[in-house]
Structure 1
Amino acid sequence: MKSKKIRVAELFAGVGGFHIGLKHADVNFDVVWANQFEPGRKHQFAYEIYQKRFEGTNLSPKDIALVNKSKIPQMDLLVGGFPCQDYSVASSSAKGLFGKKGVLWWDIKDVIEAKWPEFILLENVDRLLTSPGVTKEQPGRDFGMILRTLSDLGYSVTWKVINAADYGFPQRRRRTFIFASREDTSYQAMLKKLVQNTNISNVLKTIAPLSSSLLVQEVKEVEEVNLNEFKNLDEFSSKFKLKRGFRKTGLMVDGHVYMADYLPKSKPPKTLSEIIKPNNAIKSLYLDSEKIQKFKQLKGGFQQQHKISKSGEYTYRYGMGAISFPDPLDKPARTMVTSEHTVSRMSHVVRDPGNGKLRLISPEEAELINTFPEGWTNFKGISDTERYFTMGNALVVDLITEIGKELSQIINDEPQKGHFRSNRKIDYVTH
């Protein structure tokens, strides 16, 4: 079958991880509109990089909350790695969907209502599945809200937590990928038939994203959840909770969820030894004795302590394990963060393979860890601090390419349709 043009709109575009990854999967992915705005930043460096790398793309620099969603071009696929600070373990004050970043989910909802794309692919941190957290009152509420919202809008959803290193890439970056299909698609019809006629464990082995059963070694005990027990989103937000949150992979059809943990059939990952270059010439990357001592303290971790919840109703254990110092070159990188170049617990420290000295990774090495082309963010007027920040927020590009190959096939298998409209609408949750 000849591939058709697949119109893509990209939210929270960063420096173009989705764009380049999808293009590498199939040149017929056509990004017709993208949006990138970094709140609180006078210098919109990610926007500038995207603009220079993808000249001619219809790129909006506006706060997504201020964008007229009806003016966005029509799309077949909506993609976005929506900001994750309100779900991340790096934030001790995470507030999920009701935090300053998490609330952007409702802008995604508004885009869906305005444009009704056939398919949606979203990315967020793995902790989204338990947000606002197992130590808080409603584990799983936020991801449940996302699922229930999409269900009310007429979409089915499949999801998977994917560790990029399990699929051969050079970073142990665990992210939740969410794939949604509209109610009139043949793909959603296929999912409904599978649920009715096939063993659910086998279904969970073969659903997008990365649906090949060769990539899933084992699906553990399947759990079921009915999201339709609550009459509306407002009641859902105040009452829904799961004991442990959602599992690592799952499927939702008509508000009914089937989910399980799974074991991947791992591929050998690319390691830091293939990325870290010897005798780096940037002197500022190397650590003096004071910084070395500070890093040792930060990466040493501490034993579990008992803490009391804010409500005072229960206690929970809290601790941080030690991080290898320096980072071993025979393993893939840990998850990169936006503060990668600073003296902090999460920054990578490597022993330069040429001179044996301890140093930070370079901006170019950070790009390669995310499988961007080397020098992708290297432009006049873009500081090294800003380059690290963009990589801490970025995707593993080659993983998007693998997912994109699968989505290209799914979308190309869809029959041609006229413009779709829906009368489904959802009011905002008020608390």
Structure 2
Amino acid sequence: MARKKYKFIDLFAGVGGIRIAFEKNSCKCVFSSEWDIYSQKTYFENFGEMPDGDITKVVENDIPNHNILTGGFPCQPFSTIGKRQGFDHPTQGTLFFDIVRILEAKKPEAFLLENVAGLVNHDGGKTFKQIIKTLENELHYKVESKVLDSADYGVAQHRKRIYIVGFSEKVSSSKEFKFEWPEKNKKKVGVGQFVEQHDSGYTISNHLQKSYIYKLPDGRPQVINEESDIQVKTLVSTYHKIQRLTGTFVSDGNTGLRLLSENECKAIMGFPLDFKFPVSRTQMYRQMGNSVAIPVVQKIAKQITTTLSTAGI
């Protein structure tokens, strides 16, 4: 018997990393939202759909019915924002509140939220506690959360993120209900196999290398080549600014050192090689740095859909 094709919505969609992960689990996207015009352009180029814009202006009841809500929402300090602005609810005025109002209106059977690992300790832990309290006590979802490093799931990059998974009472009350986080891969994937050769195009000048990159003999930055059997540092949205402490660079090119290529970025984020970026290289780096490690989300998506199927949804 064919497995049910669950419907999901893609909020704070970026360029569609979460969408790819869920579509690989036979799910169907019925709505997407992304405010950044450059990300919208990339999203449209690859999926043939233009995401809705500002989520705060989207009427929740206009969103199609769906089984799963997904979103890599921005982190905002809202533990006191409600009191300052006179609202009744402590998340009012934040983008997380838009997730809350959609969950409340559409009542999907499950959700997956993703954020930076630092969210757990943001504002002394108050932000995260308020998020969980809202999801559990007000929306009545059974919530699981865990920080996962993409390097443990077949990705050649260390990328720690907090994943928050929730199931409605309809699902969690089932005698067959069971959700488990995906198991770690037994073997880690080294980045060397993905390294390309580029004589020019991503070059870091000799002057910048001498005056900044190698200004101190401290072993920084991280430099890789085709023989590197390691996982690179977290790719950040400001990668194009060439930060010696946090960046990973390649021993290659006509000056001996260059930035990661587009294909190398795709590889360490788990994007398919045929994924298109109809934007500048700077925007490509921003979009990749803001995206998700697809293989990790794909494995979580499988666990979510398995849980729903087992519960009879």
TM bin, normalised by shorter chain, reads 0.7 to 0.9
Match of 1:127 in 2: 118
8 Å contact kept, 1:285–1:360: yes
Residues 155 and 180 of structure 1 are in contact (CA less than 8 Å); yes or no, is this contact kept in structure 2?
yes
1:67 Cα deviation after fit: 0.9
Distance 1:286 1:7, change over 3 A: same
Counterpart of 1:140 in structure 2: which amino acid?
Answer: G
Q: What pairs up with 1:37-56 in 2 under 5 angstroms? A: 37-38=35-36, 44-55=37-48
Secondary structure in structure 2 of the residue aligned to 1:10: strand
Could you tell me how far apart the structure 2 residues matched to 1:62 and 1:13 are? 10
CA contact (8 A) 2:179 2:303 kept: no
Is the 1:6–1:76 Cα contact (8 Å) retained in structure 2? yes
| Structure 1 residue 8, shift from structure 2 partner | 0.3
> How far has the Cα of 1:284 moved from its partner?
4.3
Give the direction of change, closer, same or farther, for the CA distance of 1:299–1:125 in structure 2 (3 Å limit).
farther
The equivalent of 2:289 in structure 1 is: 392
Aligned 8 A contact 1:159 1:209 in 2:
no
Aligned amino acid, residue 31 of structure 1: C
- Which residue does 2:306 correspond to in 1? 409
How far, CA to CA, are the matches of 1:401 and 1:415 in structure 2? 21
Could you say if the C-alpha distance between residues 283 and 62 of structure 1 is closer, same or farther in structure 2, counting changes exceeding 3 Å? Answer: closer
Gaps of 5+ in 2: 82-90
- Alpha-carbon distance in structure 2 between the residues aligned to 1:299 and 1:117: 54
Superposed counterparts of 1:242-391, under 5 Å: 267-278=186-197, 280-297=198-215, 323-327=220-224, 329-344=228-243, 345-352=245-252, 357-379=256-278, 382-391=279-288
SS in 2 for 1:62: coil
Structure with higher helix content = 2
Question: C-alpha separation between the residues in 2 aligned to 1:415 and 1:181?
Answer: 13
Name the SS for the 2:132 alignment partner: helix
Q: CA deviation at 1:378?
A: 2.8
Gaps of 5+ in 1: 39-43, 87-94, 133-138, 194-205, 216-264, 301-321, 417-431
1:373 positional shift? 1.4
Please say if residues 341 and 347 of structure 1, whose CA atoms lie closer than 8 Å, have aligned partners that are also in contact: no
Aligned counterpart for 1:171 among listed residues 157, 174, 177: 157
- Match of residue 61 from structure 1: 52
> Quick one: which amino acid aligns to residue 285 of structure 1?
T
Is the contact made by 1:291 and 1:343 (CA closer than 8 Å) also made in structure 2?
A: no
Alpha-carbon contact 1:164-1:399 (below 8 Å) kept = yes
Aligned partners of 1:14 and 1:50 also within 8 Å: yes
Q: Distance in 1 between matches of 2:57 and 2:80?
A: 18
Letter of the structure 2 residue corresponding to residue 276 of structure 1: V
Report deviation, 1:154.
Answer: 0.8
Residue 190 of structure 1: how far off its partner (Å)? 5.1
Counterpart in 2 of 1:150? 135
How far did 1:395 drift? 0.7
Q: CA deviation at 1:414?
A: 3.1
Q: What CA RMSD, in Å, does the superposition of the two structures yield over aligned residues?
A: 2.7
Partner of 1:180: 166
Name the TM-score, length of structure 1 as normaliser: 0.64
Percent of residue pairs identical: 29
Contact 1:12 1:82 (C-alpha < 8 Å) held by counterparts: yes
1:188 Cα deviation (Å)?
Answer: 4.5
Structure 2 distance, partners of 1:284, 1:343, is 11
Aligned residue pairs total: 299
The aligned residue for residue 180 of structure 2 is 208
* Other-structure match for 2:84: none
Kindly name which structure, 1 or 2, has the bigger radius of gyration based on alpha carbons. Answer: 1
Amino acid at match of 2:64: P
